Structure 1
């Protein structure tokens, strides 16, 4: 676990995507968890950390490299696992993924239902304050129910964008569910003027 700034850490145990830990007074919040194969390492890292109790896990979107180890963390900690409502419906198989590419990806990596966490759904229409001062905000485009997390001027943006040379840029086009929404989300993140941007992949960065 590496401290990035005060109260914010990057978790080394996660595989496949970046996972972060926020210390919020007497509570700790995990943002994303990596793939399922990293679950044991991630749980061991959290167990060894001297931090307040983990009460919440925010999953930015339903892709397996972000939600894969959420069930393992929930079993270990009893934390509430949050996911956008539209993404929860896709994860449960109630509606199909929104693009052909994503439907193919779904067929290739069908999640084991036994490894899915018990979910608490986030509104896709309004922000949710799950811990005092910590906001989870709809940020659709990459997936329909994608969200980002805001905490003390830091933006945890999942796969809403990558950070490159002080700017936000899209992930490859086939991974974007709705380009118009993705463009609007990038503009909204930039308008926030975050002091630090923590993406789902790649390094943390600051925007010019």
Structure 2
């Protein structure tokens, strides 16, 4: 992928929110990913594929390529402040030039949304990839230390065990050194046994749902509010085009066949319900409901609002 200006502004100065009754979820932007990201990540998504789902434009695709973004979801549930995935992070050495030496105002945006780092109770990493764990840590006197000093950090035990037993390349070793191991060494990481079928409650109304394929232990995050339910995808759905074409896979899926099975299972359960789908890399408007559409699925967008 080509380089992107490391000082590139985030997508929005606001933190759009969706109310689920007694749970509120907000999107906190990090960066819009450069246009080359879509063709690199989803090489089968051609202009012709995009043309088959006209609803993708203009929000989710440009003329020729899908649009993608990096953001976190900040959740209020049961009196807890929860962050789902922590993006790329600042000041990291990364092989991907779009992520190398990033300098954004993510923490300021998080604080403005009502989530100063010291107030966060729980951080959920849906999986241990570079663009989902970056703000787990920050530089402090030259050392990488947990960004959220009072938080428990969660990932699935299956995810942790997979990477612990895998020979890592140099780039991934660097990511674990600066964004994962400092949290583990601090004693703040909890490994959660997520059942192969079903879900595991980690906070009031907040459930980890197995979503393997992209990585072996990836989870999606289900939010069961008093009035409505939402599902945060992780990378089980990278882009809304995969609603129309669930068989299209990412070049970084570890088990692409399992990723397709997971995606089909999740979409079938969501279709024609009131459950809100929140895409971990979907550009604004980011959220919507899933509807069956002539033998396929489509996303009916729901733009977030300001909720105090």
Q: TM-score range by the shorter chain?
A: 0.7 to 0.9
User: 1:29: Cα distance to partner?
Assistant: 1.0
Please list every run of 5 or more consecutive structure 2 residues that lacks an aligned counterpart in the other structure.
1-13, 34-69, 91-101, 139-144, 292-308
In structure 1, C-alpha distance between the alignment counterparts of 2:147 and 2:103, rounded to whole Å: 11
Q: Does 1:44 align with 2:108?
A: yes
- Map 1:1-208 onto structure 2 (within 5 A): 1-6=14-19, 7-13=24-30, 17-37=70-90, 41-50=105-114, 53-72=119-138, 74-91=146-163, 94-96=164-166, 106-110=169-173, 111-116=175-180, 117-118=183-184, 119-126=189-196, 127-152=199-224, 153-161=229-237, 162-164=239-241, 167=244, 169=246, 172-193=249-270, 195-203=275-283, 204=286, 205-208=288-291
In structure 1, C-alpha distance between the alignment counterparts of 2:259 and 2:242, rounded to whole Å: 19
User: 1:198: Cα distance to partner?
Assistant: 1.3
Which structure carries more helix by proportion? 1
Q: How many residues align?
A: 199
- The question of whether the paired residues in 1 share the 8 Å contact of 2:162 and 2:216 is answered with no
What does the per-residue CA deviation read over 1:92-151, in whole Å, with 9 as the maximum and x for residues that have no partner? xx3117xxxxx6xx4334325243222211224252211111111111000001000001
- The question of whether the paired residues in 2 share the 8 Å contact of 1:83 and 1:120 is answered with yes
In structure 1, C-alpha distance between the alignment counterparts of 2:213 and 2:233, rounded to whole Å: 12
SS in 2 for 1:33: coil
> 21-30 or 34-43, which moves further after superposition?
34-43
User: 1:51: Cα distance to partner?
Assistant: 5.3
Question: Which structure is larger by alpha-carbon Rg, 1 or 2?
Answer: 2
- The question of whether the paired residues in 2 share the 8 Å contact of 1:21 and 1:28 is answered with yes
Greater RCO structure (CA 8 Å; 6+ sep): 2
What does the per-residue CA deviation read over 1:21-58, in whole Å, with 9 as the maximum and x for residues that have no partner? 11114111111110122687333333343359421111
In structure 2, C-alpha distance between the alignment counterparts of 1:20 and 1:115, rounded to whole Å: 18
TM-score (ref. length: structure 2) = 0.57
